[in-house]
Every structure is written in structure tokens, then in C-alpha cells.
Amino acid sequence: MASTPQAALQELNQKTRAISMLGSCASLLGWDERTYMPPGGVNHRAEQMAMIAGMTHEKMVEPRIGELLNIVSNSDLMNGGSTDAAVIVREVGRSFERATKLPQALVEELTRTSSLAQNAWEEARAKKDFKIFKPWLAKMIDLKKQEAEAVGYKDDPYDALLDDFEPGATVKDIEKTLTGLRAELVKMLDKIKGSSRRPKGDIMKRRYPREAQEKFGREAADRIGFDFKRGRLDVTVHPFCTGIGPGDTRLTTRYDEHDFNNAFFGTMHEAGHGIYDQGLPESHFGTPLGDAISLGIHESQSRMWENQVGRSKSFWKYFYPKAQQTFPEALGDVTLDEFYFAANDVKPSFIRTESDEGTYNLHILIRFELERAFFAGQLQVDDVPEAWKKKYQDYLGITPPDDSIGCMQDVHWSAGLIGYFPTYSLGNLYSAQFFAQAKKDLGDLDADFAKGEFSRLKKWLNDNIHAHGRRYLATDLVKKVTGKPLSHDALMTYMNAKFGELYGF
């Protein structure tokens, strides 16, 4: 038993590290399930995942954790809330409070259903048959409603789920942010629609052999700073990154020989997540000081490397000659300017993960509104395919021809990640604001990129974002780093400048 506040803090850290080790095991099983596990193993894997979730929950709700939090929080270790101990108490206390409200049976059933639903989703997506996925989606929505009620909320049940991914965020905040962003996006997209300039549309759809794509993508990920001695890249149905633990970060992507953007920018995106995970302080593994701040901040890192870096002209000044050598048949007659314009083509598309920077946030707005409708009782599962098509027609002027590239394109609903989608748009906003500050602090980053040098930006991110773990809330971190609260100003300034040059407005 802890006899002093310092001893209580050490015991608390031991307990949270044990919880994180279980989480690490679950992450590895989840990665294997989405990459190499044979289809016949899905039912057994679901039971494995449910068991680990139950064990993790048992450890998280131990009364002793509450006792230790109380000892430390009422000691001099807090020092006004600015110390490591204060961060640990704040963040562990938040997790403890949420966990104690959730019945273990619900936690286990959510995890079990996630494994089974993801398998059904893969089958339904491949067969373009929503009926296969429908009962699993209905069950997952019901379970997530139970979670929201158990956790509790002030104004909106969706807040209870959103808070799990972006601590402190609310529907009211997100609506205000996305509404303001949408208004500015519409103005910009109208200018692009009115432009007579268009890139050569076939460039990215030419044949890019899979093996060559994999080699080129790995080289780019390595060059920007993802450490393959502490990570790997594999293939899956829906790309993701998972941090197993110190020294082990797994990236995944998918390949289409007639779509360069799919794998390449997907790999850059996941490598951005991986660089964040690899930049977290290893000595603090298992405590909040060794964990990512929020999904919005995590997405800021992936979107920055994918877009502000990977889709920049300076990036391709270095990589395009290599691309021409790697894909001579596809790119032999294409100039750098033509390729750069094609890589930044802005036009309505069906697939979120393959969409351009200009329309991407409209994809997020659609998902956010549909998820809200689930919890407001305004949308039933039977009506999802048609509701999805209507939203795409209203927001992007296109109608998905089938559900595999419509309402079944994302893994999130099958995985129980309801409340996750808004963090992508938050990530875009954070990334632009962080990147603008990095350029202000570091000077000419474009000159670096044109030489294949990305270490200064990576170090800036390591020092200003990754090294803090969860010391700051996301809203506080952006103020600390940039001196301003989060807004859409930096993102729209960046996009208007970029697309204004390309489309002539």
C-alpha cells in the first residue's frame, strides 16, 4: 500500500502501464485480424478481443485506482496543476470516471461485435450488398446508444461518443466549426468550378504496377522520417496505423494499379500517424505522458504529411524524377507541372480516402450529419443507403452507383468508431495552423523539401507536439504552439493560395 504521494503515483503508473500492455496485445490482435488472419478465425478472434477488453476494463475500474488518484490529487505533487503528476491525475481520472460508468458486459459485447461486424462489412463491401452488413450496423448503433446513455451527456448523446476521441469537444463546437468552414469551402469550390483550367484527368489512372507502387511508397515514407526498423507496412482493405508499443508501429495501405493516389497518399497519411506514434516518449509508455493527445491532433499529423508536404510542388521537385524512373510507362510523357496539377485535381468523388483537399471536408460533414441523425432518432438503418446517396447529391452533386463506394466504404461504423469522423476535419484545421507556424519558425521549408530534406519539420513536430504526450488538451496545445485558438483561417489561406495558383483565381 502506498504510504506517500510519490509512492501512490508510482503505483498508479504501474497500474496504467499494465492496462496499456493489455491494450497493446489487443492492438496486435486487431492488426492481425485486418491483415493476415484467415477468414475462419473471425469468431475465435472476436472472443479473444472480448476477453482482453473485459480484462482491461476490470483493471481500469479497480477501486484502488480511485484511491491512488485521491492521494496524489491532494498532495504537493500537483503544484497548481502544472506537473507531470497533475497531467497523470487529470487524464487517468478522466479515463477512470468514464470506465466506471460502463458495464463490463457492454464493453465486452462492443468489442466482440466490432470484430464480427468488421468481417461482415468486408464481405458486404466485396459483394456490394448492404443487406449483409445491415443487421451488424443496427446492432452496433444500438450498443453505441447504450454506451452514450451509460457515460452520460449534458446536451446531446453524440457528445458522449465524440468526447472519447476528442476530449472536451461537443456537437455544438463541431457544428460551429464545420459550418464556418463549409461556407468558405463553397466559395472556393465555386471559383474552381468556374475556372477553364483542368489537369490531364488520365494521369493518375494510368497503370502503376503494384510492386513498383509499394517500393516507391516505402521510399517516401522512409524519407519523411518513418522508421522501418521500428515499424512495417502491410496491405489491408481499409488503411490504418496502429501503435503496438515502443519500437513497433504498423502501417497498412491498399493498392490499385490504375489509381496512383490511392496507395501513395494513403501511405503518406498513415506514415504521418506512425511518425507521431514513434515520436511519443517511450519512457512514459503506459502513462498519459506517453500517449497521443486526441484523434484530431493525430489526424493533424497524418494530414500534414499527406497534404501540406506530400501534395506540395516542392515535394515533387525531389520525388518526381524518381517517380518517372519507377513508372516510366505511366509518366514518361508527363511533365512535373502536369503531374503536380493532376495530384491536386479538385473534383467531386465518391471515396473519402481518395478525395482531394478541396472537397474532403464535405465528405466528413456528410458522415457527421448521418451519425447525428442516428442518435436523434431521425435515421433508421434501413434508410442509410438512400440517405447517403441524397447527401452526396446535395453536397457534391454526384450519386454513388453502389453501396460499396457509398455507405459501406468506411470501416468506422463496423468498428464502433462512431464519433471519430469529425476529428478528420479538426485534423485538417490543426494541420494547417501547425504547418503555418512551422514555416514561420523554420523559414523556407519548400527549399528543404525540394532537396528531399524533411528532418527539420519532423524535429519541429517531435519537439512541439509529439514530446508532450497528453500534457495539454488539444485546444490548449494549438494556442501554445501557434499563439491562436483553432480556426479555419490557416486552412483556407493555404488552400486559396494553392488552388488559386493552379486554377487561376
Q: Which residues are catalytic?
A: 270
Strands (E), 104-235: 231-235
The Cα 226–Cα 267 span in angstroms is 11
The Cα 441–Cα 150 span in angstroms is 45
The Cα 424–Cα 421 span in angstroms is 6
Contacting residues for 118 by C-beta, under 8 A, at least 6 apart: 33, 34, 411, 414, 415
Give the DSSP H/E element, type plus range, for residue 362: helix 357-375
Contact 75, 14 (CB under 8 A): no
SS3 track for 415-455? CCCCCCCHHHHHHHHHHHHHHHHHHHHHCCHHHHHHCCCCH
In this structure, the number of other CB atoms found within 10 A of the CB of residue 443 comes to 11
Contact 316, 340 (CB under 8 A): yes
Q: In Å, how far are 278, 342, 481, 502 from 337, measured between CA atoms?
A: 34, 9, 34, 10
Chain CA centroid to CA 169, Å? 16
Q: Grid coordinates in use for 493?
A: 489561406
Contact 148, 164 (CB under 8 A): no
How much is the CA Rg of the chain, to the nearest whole Å? 23
Q: Classify residue 216 as exposed, middle or buried by CB count within 10 Å of its CB (0-12, 13-18, 19+).
A: buried
Residue from 260, 186, 191 nearest 502 by CA: 191
3-state DSSP: the chain helix, strand, coil percent, rounded to 5?
70, 5, 25
The Cα 467–Cα 462 span in angstroms is 6
Q: Grid coordinates in use for 352?
A: 473519402
Give the alpha-carbon dihedral of 339, 314, 428, 437, to 10 degrees: -170
Q: Grid coordinates in use for 138?
A: 443496427
